[in-house]
């Protein structure tokens, strides 16, 4: 099990003064830092120029977290696959201008409306930093910091009041960047659980089901209403949950409750629900068991 704190960078009122300055100083999504005998510039992704180089960079970063399980994104030939469904999205690349334009880093970002968790129905635009990668031979040179700053500035220009990132609790470098250098605070904790299906044994027939429990599949509209009613006030709950549940990878949402009882849809009684997505084409699970 791996614990992932979901970190968010808060701001007060409208876009903070620091974010405004960041946006103004970005100068058309390009900034630069001095590095040895070359210079690193941050710019937006160009499909024709960068696609092959991005695929090579992603492969170089596919290093597991040691013994155990790790999840690796499969781009499926589309570096924007993780963010393309969001109306506002961007991908920034770090380029070594002094070495023939070698790409040494990448960061994706999107902006979406989410619940604040303070007042029911209150929402805010939040930016998300996703898929931050830096070439292993170019790490600890400030490239990741510049990429994150560029996504933050882009999100601020599009009205984001907060920026959210997910970081592995065991990844000291990642937490040092987001928490130590950029001032993110822990907003939520997520645990990713892995069940090797080869080890699963079917339960005895007598215990496989209960006659007083009914399981039914919910329509997208019903599932969306359920999530909004029960979880809409939770921090960072997406306001477009209907679109999430209706997206192509979704396999559906199921609810279990006692026959004749309420629950979930506003009635009384115990209930449980689960939503499934087909991520087989999007993610690969690496197992390093030594």
In the prediction, which pLDDT does 29 show? 44
Contact 2, 192 (CB under 8 A): yes
**Model confidence pLDDT, tens digit, residues 149-206:** 999 999 999 999 999 998 887 788 888 999 999 999 887 776 767 666 666 666 665 5
Instruction: Answer yes or no: is pLDDT of 143 > 70.
Output: yes
pLDDT tier, 218 (very low <50, low <70, confident <90, very high otherwise): very high
35-49 b/e (C-beta count within 10 Å ≥ 16 → b): beeeebbbbebeeee
**Top-confidence residue, 247 or 45:** 45
In the prediction, which pLDDT does 177 show? 93
- The top-scoring range by mean pLDDT among 69-73, 135-139, 151-155, 164-168 is 151-155
Q: In what order do the strands lie in the sheet with 88-96?
A: 31-35, 38-44, 88-96, 102-115, 123-134, 162-166, 2-9, 185-192
Structure tokens at 146: 């510049």
Which among 24, 23, 41 has a CA at the least distance from the CA of 32? Answer: 41
In the prediction, which pLDDT does 34 show? 44
Q: Is 213 exposed, middle or buried (0-12, 13-18, 19+ CB in 10 A)?
A: middle
In the prediction, which pLDDT does 28 show? 41
pLDDT tier, 58 (very low <50, low <70, confident <90, very high otherwise): confident
Which among 44, 152, 165 has a CA at the least distance from the CA of 103? Answer: 44
From residue 212, give the alpha-carbon distance in Å to each of 176, 183, 209, 261, 264: 51, 51, 9, 10, 17
Query: 97-101 contacts: CB < 8 A, separation 24 or more?
Result: 97/32, 97/38, 97/39, 97/40, 97/41, 98/37, 98/38, 98/39, 99/38, 101/49
The widest CA-to-CA distance across the chain, in whole angstroms, is: 73
The position carrying tokens 């001032």 is 183
Distance CA 103, CA 243 (A): 34
In the prediction, which pLDDT does 7 show? 61
**Model confidence pLDDT, tens digit, residues 94-125:** 998 876 788 999 999 999 888 877 666 778 89
For the segment 63-75, the average pLDDT, to the nearest whole number, is: 56
In the prediction, which pLDDT does 31 show? 43
Q: Which of 104-108, 233-237, 273-277 shows the lowest per-residue confidence on average (mean pLDDT)? A: 233-237
Q: Which of 123-137, 185-199, 240-254 shows the lowest per-residue confidence on average (mean pLDDT)? A: 185-199
In the prediction, which pLDDT does 30 show? 45
For the segment 75-84, the average pLDDT, to the nearest whole number, is: 65
- The top-scoring range by mean pLDDT among 36-45, 75-84, 193-202 is 36-45
Distance CA 107, CA 22 (A): 17
Which among 50, 49, 51, 31 has a CA at the least distance from the CA of 40? Answer: 31
| pLDDT averaged over every residue in the chain | 75
If DSSP codes are grouped into helix, strand and coil, which group holds residue 208? coil
Which among 245, 247, 237, 246 has a CA at the least distance from the CA of 113? Answer: 237
Which residues face 166 on adjacent strands? 6
In the prediction, which pLDDT does 209 show? 60
Instruction: Answer yes or no: is pLDDT of 48 > 50.
Output: yes
In the prediction, which pLDDT does 169 show? 79
Share of the chain above pLDDT 90, in %: 27
Q: Please provide the DSSP assignment of 217-274 as one string.
A: EEPHHHHHHHHHHHHTTSTT-BTTHHHHHHSTTEEEEEEEEETT---SSSSSS-EEEE
In the prediction, which pLDDT does 21 show? 35
For the segment 216-226, the average pLDDT, to the nearest whole number, is: 91
Pairing of strands 68-73, 88-96: unpaired
- Calculated CA dihedral for residues 175, 178, 183, 189, nearest 10 degrees: -60
């Amino acid at each position: 099990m791996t614990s992932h704190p979901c970190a968010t960078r808060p701001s007060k009122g409208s876009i903070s003064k620091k974010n405004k300055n960041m946006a103004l100083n970005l100068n058309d999504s390009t900034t630069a830092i001095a590095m040895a005998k070359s210079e690193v510039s941050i710019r937006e992704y160009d499909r024709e120029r960068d696609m092959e180089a991005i695929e090579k960079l992603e492969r170089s970063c596919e290093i597991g977290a040691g013994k155990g399980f790790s999840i690796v994104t499969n781009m499926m030939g589309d570096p924007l696959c993780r963010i393309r469904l969001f109306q506002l999205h961007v991908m920034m690349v770090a380029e070594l201008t002094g070495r023939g334009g070698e790409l040494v880093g990448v960061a994706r970002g999107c902006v979406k409306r989410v619940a604040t968790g303070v007042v029911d129905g209150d929402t805010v635009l939040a930016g998300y930093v996703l898929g931050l990668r830096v070439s292993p031979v170019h790490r600890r040179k400030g490239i990741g910091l510049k990429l994150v700053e560029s996504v933050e500035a882009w999100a601020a220009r599009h009205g984001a009041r907060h920026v959210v990132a997910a970081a592995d609790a065991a990844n000291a470098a990642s937490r040092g960047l987001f928490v130590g250098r950029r001032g993110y605070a822990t907003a939520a904790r997520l645990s990713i659980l892995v069940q090797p299906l080869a080890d699963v044994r079917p339960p005895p027939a007598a215990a496989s089901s209960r006659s007083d429990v009914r399981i039914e599949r919910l329509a997208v509209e019903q599932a969306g209403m359920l999530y909004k009613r029960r979880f809409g006030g939770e921090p960072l709950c997406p306001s477009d949950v209907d679109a999430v549940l209706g997206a192509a990878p979704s396999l559906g949402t199921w609810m279990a409750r006692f026959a004749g009882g309420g629950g979930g849809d506003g009635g009384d009684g115990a209930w449980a629900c689960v939503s499934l997505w087909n991520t087989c084409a999007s993610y690969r699970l690496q197992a390093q068991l030594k």
